[in-house]
Amino acid sequence: MRCTCGQEIQANWTYCPYCGENIGVEIITPSKAGSKKRIGLLSKDYYVRMSAIKKASPRAYESWTPEEEQKLINLYKEGVTIKEIAEKLQRQKGAVTSRLKKIGER
Ligand SMILES: [Zn+2]
């Protein structure tokens, strides 16, 4: 499903991690006691975590463009550290290393 902001979101999220929109989907799961329990909290935690990540690395979880990938390869070949590459590309260090592995540069 998609949020009004156009981002792909999971059906069980109550918040859109991209724009913060309250999706308004209330997931009700029957608990063992037979009463109904909301499971919106997890999504909210996820949203809070995601916001913090996005604040530090605005491009985190965005798909890589070919230009960006080329930039990544060039920087890596120039000997720029992963930390600096991550800062330049506004991504997380983990994302940079896994991308390098994926494209066979590391
Ligand atoms: Zn949204």
| pLDDT, tens digit, 9 for 90 and up, residues 46-83 | 777 888 888 889 999 889 999 999 999 999 999 999 99
Looking at residue 80, its pLDDT comes to 97
Number of domains in the chain: 2
CB 45 within 8 A of CB 73: no
**What's the gap in Å between 95 CA and the centre of ligand 1?**
22
| Integer angstrom CA distances of residue 55 from 17, 32, 48, 59, 90 | 12, 39, 11, 9, 10
Is the pLDDT assigned to residue 23 strictly greater than 60?
yes
Looking at residue 30, its pLDDT comes to 52
> What is the domain extent for residue 43?
1-56
Looking at residue 74, its pLDDT comes to 97
For 33, phi then psi, to 5°, come to -70, -10
**What's the gap in Å between 26 CA and the centre of ligand 1?**
16
Amino acid (one-letter) located at 28: I
Which residues keep their CB under 5 angstroms from ion ligand 1?
3, 5, 16, 18-19, 21
Is the domain of 22 the same as that of 50? yes
Is the domain of 49 the same as that of 74? no
Is the domain of 39 the same as that of 70? no
Predicted structure pTM score: 0.57
Is the pLDDT assigned to residue 102 strictly greater than 50?
yes
Token couple for 67: 């230009």
